[in-house]
Every structure is written in C-alpha cells, then in structure tokens.
Amino acid sequence: MKPAPFRYHAPKTVEEAVATLAQVAPEDGRVLAGGQSLVPIMAFRLARPAHLVDINNIEALTRLAVEGGKLSIGACVRHAAFHRPVIEGPLGNLLSAVVRHIAHYPIRTRGTFCGSVAHADPASEWCLVVATLDGEMVARSARGTRVIAAKDFFQGIMTTALSEDELLTEVRLPFLPADARFGFYEFNRRAGDFAIAMALVAFRVQNGMIAEPRVGVGGAEPRPRRLVEAEAALAGRAPTSEAFGAAAEAAAAAIDPMEDATTSAEYRRDLVRTVTRRALERA
Ligand SMILES: Cc1cc2nc3c(=O)[nH]c(=O)nc-3n(C[C@H](O)[C@H](O)[C@H](O)COP(=O)(O)OP(=O)(O)OC[C@H]3O[C@@H](n4cnc5c(N)ncnc54)[C@H](O)[C@@H]3O)c2cc1C
C-alpha cells in the first residue's frame, strides 16, 4: 500500500520547523526524522498525517557534542553514529554496546536517536538508555523551550510528554563516572527484532561494595523505567551472584508485565528475572 496524501514541508532551521509545526500540528502534522517507524505505519495507513515536517535539512540538529558533563544528541543524529564510541569512557562504550541490538544496519543508518525517543516504543533500546541514565529531553515549540526529565517524559506505549507542536531538538545524557561498570542484556526471538524484555544496569564498586546502582528494564511494561526495588537489593552489597539473584528477583516482583498474543505476563516476568541477572553479570 501507499501512504495517504500529505503535504511535505522541508524547513532549513529549527525556528522555521517549529513555526510550521505550530500551524500544521492541529491538522495531524508530524515530524519526519529517519522515517523508519513513521513511513511503515503510513504505508499501512495506520497513520495518515496531513502534513510531514521533514527535519533532515536542518544542519543544527546534526550536532553531537559534550556540554556541561552531558552528551548532547541532536535530533538528526542517526543510530549508526554510535557504532563506535562517540566519547571515551563508560557512556560511549555503553551506547556502542547497545546500538547493535537496534534493528538492522540499513535502518540504523537512517533512524535517529531522538526519533526513537519521541516514538517511545516500549521496546526501544534508546528509551531504556534514557530512562536508566536519567536523560533529559529538550522540547522546542513556537511557545518556547522546555527540558523534560526521563521519569516525566515516558508516559505509556508510544506516549510521551511531548505536545503535538513540540520538536524534540536534543536528548542529553549524563556521563557515567570513569569507574562505572555497565551491562546490557536483551532477549528477542530473532536478531534485529524488538526486545521482548531487556535490562540495562550500571554501578560502581567502592571498597568492594556496589555503589550508585542503576537497574532499568524495557520491553516488559508500557514504558521503560528504573526499578528502585532492584537497585535497593544491590546498594552496599558485594557484587556476588547472590546479590545479582536478589536484584533479579526484586525486578521480576516489581514489574507489571504486558501481555500479547505470543507472550504471557508470566513469561515476561520470568524473562525480566533472567535479563536483569545477565545484565548484572555482564557488568
Ligand atoms: C524492521 C524494523 C526493525 C526495527 N527494530 C527496532 C529495534 O529493535 N529497536 C528500536 O528501538 N527500534 C527499531 N526500529 C525502529 C527504528 O529504530 C526507528 O528508527 C525509530 O523508532 C524512529 O526513529 P526515526 O528517526 O526513524 O523516526 P521517524 O520514523 O521519522 O518518526 C517516528 C515518530 O517520532 C516522531 N518524531 C521523530 N523525530 C521527532 C522529533 N525530533 N521531535 C518530535 N517528534 C519526532 C515522528 O513524528 C513519528 O511520530 C525498527 C524499525 C524497523 C523498520
């Protein structure tokens, strides 16, 4: 099938883009970034936007920079930018470890980091990264700019705090301390598929004990989130298999798993236990 008719806009600046969005958003005007989620759903006519605002000609949005202890990722930075570490240290390594689980190579050369975050698929790897590391989203509209914390941004399946006239101009990720360890583990049935469950963890080891633990789970609930119950099971304990097992149990107990035609809630809960433990072992 072919998409329903739409009007195409190609702004050259962020100001022009938000001015266009202010006009067309009420008529289901949408931002077009990498098109790797939007174009397929338009082809199936699951979405019929009357206007597309293509941001790919906006040079300022290709920015990938370090600013005030944070990595700032502009709206046109593609997944493929992270195939190699973009910065030295654990954060750069974490992003390049995670990126290869996103779809397939051609999709990673077009799809954008911010597009994934704006799309907010529960099984998006970047959404899990943002939630686990407490990233910030910078939203711009003709009304001004606001910064939204991850815990307030993800609201449910493909639902975020962004208003229809807001452009996500960048995502900011805080650096991890130089001695931070991280681990990521994803389960899906075929390589390149969306995760059925995945976990991202990070912690430091100080005087032989786990400090500053972060445990995030994605794919299992309508939105990715940090699980404080699992983090509490790790903090101040030695990084042993007993501690990892206790955190994995706490994660499995804390979630309220989604169910679908092929995956029961019970199975997803079991997977959460496994992916959390394996992510901790990798760290
Ligand atoms: C076969 C296949 C497999 C895939 N597997 C995975 C996977 O395993 N993991 C995964 O995470 N993704 C996967 N994807 C999705 C892919 O990562 C997309 O690139 C991503 O979800 C969306 O990014 P995009 O830049 O292509 O956004 P688009 O498709 O252009 O847009 C998606 C949505 O976000 C909105 N949007 C985009 N950018 C902005 C912005 N800056 N501000 C406001 N709104 C915006 C659009 O209006 C639209 O509603 C897969 C896609 C395909 C086709």
Whether residue 160 is predicted with pLDDT greater than 80 in this model: the reply is yes
| pLDDT, average across residues 175-202 | 95
Whether residue 202 is predicted with pLDDT greater than 90 in this model: the reply is yes
Q: What is the pTM of this model?
A: 0.98
Q: What is the pLDDT of residues 72-103, one digit of tens each?
A: 999 999 999 999 999 999 999 999 999 999 99
**pLDDT score at 175:** 97
**pLDDT score at 191:** 84
Q: What is the pLDDT of residues 133-156, one digit of tens each?
A: 999 999 999 999 999 999 999 999
Helical segments of the chain, H only: 14-24, 38-43, 90-99, 105-110, 113-119, 125-133, 150-153, 228-232, 241-254, 265-282
Query: How does residue 131 score in pLDDT terms, banded at 50, 70 and 90?
Result: very high
Q: What is the pLDDT of residues 224-242, one digit of tens each?
A: 999 999 999 999 999 999 9
Query: How does residue 39 score in pLDDT terms, banded at 50, 70 and 90?
Result: very high
DSSP characters for 32-99?
ESS-TTHHHHHHTTS---SEEEE-TT-GGGG-EEEETTEEEEETT-BGGGGSS-SSSSHHHHHHHHHH
- Closest ligand 1 atom, CA of 31? 47
**pLDDT score at 119:** 98
Report how far ligand 1's centroid is from the alpha carbon of 110 (Å): 9
SS3 125: helix
Considering only CA atoms, which residue is closest to atom 34 of ligand 1? 119
Considering only CA atoms, which residue is closest to atom 10 of ligand 1? 124
**pLDDT score at 17:** 98
- Closest ligand 1 atom, CA of 139? 42
Asked whether the beta carbons of 161 and 153 are under 8 A apart, the reply is yes
**Phi and psi, residue 198, nearest 5°:** -150, 155
Beta strand 70-74 with 51-54 is unpaired
Asked whether the beta carbons of 57 and 12 are under 8 A apart, the reply is yes
* Ligand 1 touching residue 239 (CB < 6 A): no
DSSP β-bridge partners for residue 129: none
| pLDDT, average across residues 65-73 | 95
